[in-house]
Structure 1
Amino acid sequence: MKPSSAVDDVALLTQIAQRDQTALSLLYDRYARIIYGLAFKSLRSAEESEEAVLDVFAQVWRIAERYDVQKGKADSWLFTLARSRILDRLRKLKRSNSTAVVSIEAVEIQPKADCVDLFEEASIKERRSQVMIALQTLPKEQRLVLELAYYQGLSQGEIAAHTGLALGTVKTRIRLGLSKLKSALGSSEYL
């Protein structure tokens, strides 16, 4: 049985596809802080992270009808959009010779909010901790390529150039690393 929040997410995306602004607002309230935290971890800039969040929800507004419940969970779809927007911003920053500092260390960030939901914050910290622990169980080679892809925003080709590995090797290590992470995290909502 699906958790009620997953069902609610699907319903919200259906309503957003029908141009329901209230549904978009509810989805934003549910995920904006989490996406902000992900963005800040990579972008290290409050302004860029806020822009990434806005980009994600603008895209949700434009393409909500493309979400297919048969292809995956709504939150996974949303986090995929977020990752793409964050990577776009990272690439833009690199092109403009920005001095953004990117690192793997977990950042304890408190997004700006008038009302902080302590249970949600604890849940986010717990999820982050479990993902970081699972990441540490991977072989060094697989962990490296995943960190370069997810935390520094490098494409597979860029990782190959950066590490001197063959592109096929990079792709294999990413695939194996993600598979091992999925197994380590079990049937969780993280992947």
Structure 2
Amino acid sequence: MIPASTTPDNRCDEIHLMKRIAQQDQSALSQLYDRYARVIYSVAHKSLGSVEECEEVVLDVFAQVWRTASRYDPARSRVDTWLFMIARSRVLDRLRGVQRRGKVTEAVMAPDFSHTQAPPSPSEHAEIAERRTQVLNALQQLPPEQQQVLEMSYYQGLTQREIAAQTGMALGTVKTRIRLGLEKLRSALHAESWDSV
């Protein structure tokens, strides 16, 4: 799949989109997302192979674009090149995280152990159950609107467009709520893991 920015006109358009994003224009971010989310997902999937991890990479990339668009320099790289550099960095972060978490996280991500090599040991089972409880508790602390979109995405397996269609929310609102919900979940789980040390 070839990114849309291969023509000079598209490159100029994307530089303009970046300027609008730098001014906190959500519709510009949505346009850039629509152009690149699928290809970034595909690139991430080749390394990660997990739907959840790949979706998080895509969300992380566009959250970083939102935060750092003002630092984008068209003289240094094209927009697509910049996006793929961010995506590569996020994929490497995820791979390192997967290696650190090892078998326990793998089991949490796939609670029906039928396709894993060996069932978890009793201590791994206890860790999985504890982690699952922590995740559910952290999820309960989120505002209901963020809880709803995360549950639809991760438990029902719906795409962001499907969530928007089912709920009647704007796609940008769904994306924002998922991003904010994931950030709050990460913070809550990180704080809880430090509290338990």
TM-score by length of 2: 0.49
Which structure is higher in RCO with an 8 Å CA cutoff and minimum separation 6?
1
Distance 1:52 1:78 in 2: 11
Selected match of 1:16 from 15, 18, 21: 21
Q: Structure 1: which 4+ aligned runs deviate by more than 2 Å?
A: 112-115
The answer to whether residue 78 in structure 2 is matched with residue 73 in structure 1 is: yes
Query: For 1:17-166, what aligned pairs fall within 5 Å after superposition?
Result: 17-98=22-103
Q: Percent identity?
A: 56
Matching residue of 2:8: 3
The amino acid across from 1:25 in the alignment is S
Shift of 1:66: 0.8
What secondary structure does 1:19 align onto? coil
Matching residue of 1:188: none
The amino acid across from 2:35 in the alignment is R
Distance 1:3 1:69 in 2: 13
Which protein has the bigger helix share? 2
Distance 2:23 2:161 in 1: 30
TM-score by length of 1: 0.51
The amino acid across from 2:13 in the alignment is D
The amino acid across from 2:80 in the alignment is D
Shift of 1:72: 1.3
**Structure 2 residues without counterparts, runs of 5 or longer:** 1-5, 108-158, 163-197
Distance 1:44 1:113 in 2: 19
Shift of 1:93: 0.6
Distance 2:53 2:92 in 1: 11
What secondary structure does 1:68 align onto? coil
What secondary structure does 2:24 align onto? coil
Distance 1:51 1:4 in 2: 30
Q: Could you list the per-position Cα deviations for residues 47-83 of structure 1 after superposition, in whole angstroms to 9, with x for gaps in the alignment?
A: 1000100000000000001110111111101110010
Q: Give me the CA root mean square deviation.
A: 2.2
Larger Rg: 2
Distance 1:28 1:61 in 2: 11
Shift of 1:26: 0.2
The amino acid across from 2:26 in the alignment is Q
Distance 2:9 2:95 in 1: 34
| Number of residue equivalences | 104
